[in-house]
Amino acid sequence: MHTNESSENYLETILILSKVRPVVRSVDIAEELGFKKSSVSVAMKNLREKEHITVTREGFIYLTPSGREIAEMIYERHELLTEWLIKLGVDAHVAAQDACKIEHDISKESFEALKRHIQK
């Protein structure tokens, strides 16, 4: 289940948007990320080809089980790392930006160890 950072960000964004909107469309993702709709359309095509999302005829985007698994993993990492950095005294905005960078590169083993340590 190897994906690149860009794909992970798109999947995480779809997950986050789906928590607050009844449906997610490409235009919503473009607006959220500050990207051109054409760039988002290309990314959605790639995610659809990898079977991480489905897109209805109306343009509604849904995560498949594999897409949801990736999105939830990245989201969990983002939330935990952001919270941890804030507790260490890092400004919330900086913590969120740094967590976004770390969440894609940290190994599963290191993240699980960090999670165990933080949750003690």
In a domain, 39, yes or no: yes
Residue 59 and residue 98 in one domain? no
**What pLDDT digit, counting tens, does each position of 55-109 carry?**
999 999 999 999 999 999 999 999 999 999 999 999 999 999 999 999 989 999 9
- The model's pTM: 0.89
Residue 52 and residue 89 in one domain? no
120 vs 58: CA distance, rounded Å: 46
Residues 29 and 61: beta-carbon distance below 8 Å: yes
In a domain, 60, yes or no: yes
Q: By residue range, what is the domain housing residue 78?
A: 70-115
How many domains does the chain divide into?
2
Q: In angstroms, what CA-CA distances link 106 with 4, 38, 45, 47, 113?
A: 13, 30, 27, 22, 11
Query: In a 3-state reduction of DSSP, which class is residue 24?
Result: strand
**CATH number of the domain that 47 lies in?**
1.10.10.10
Query: In a 3-state reduction of DSSP, which class is residue 62?
Result: strand
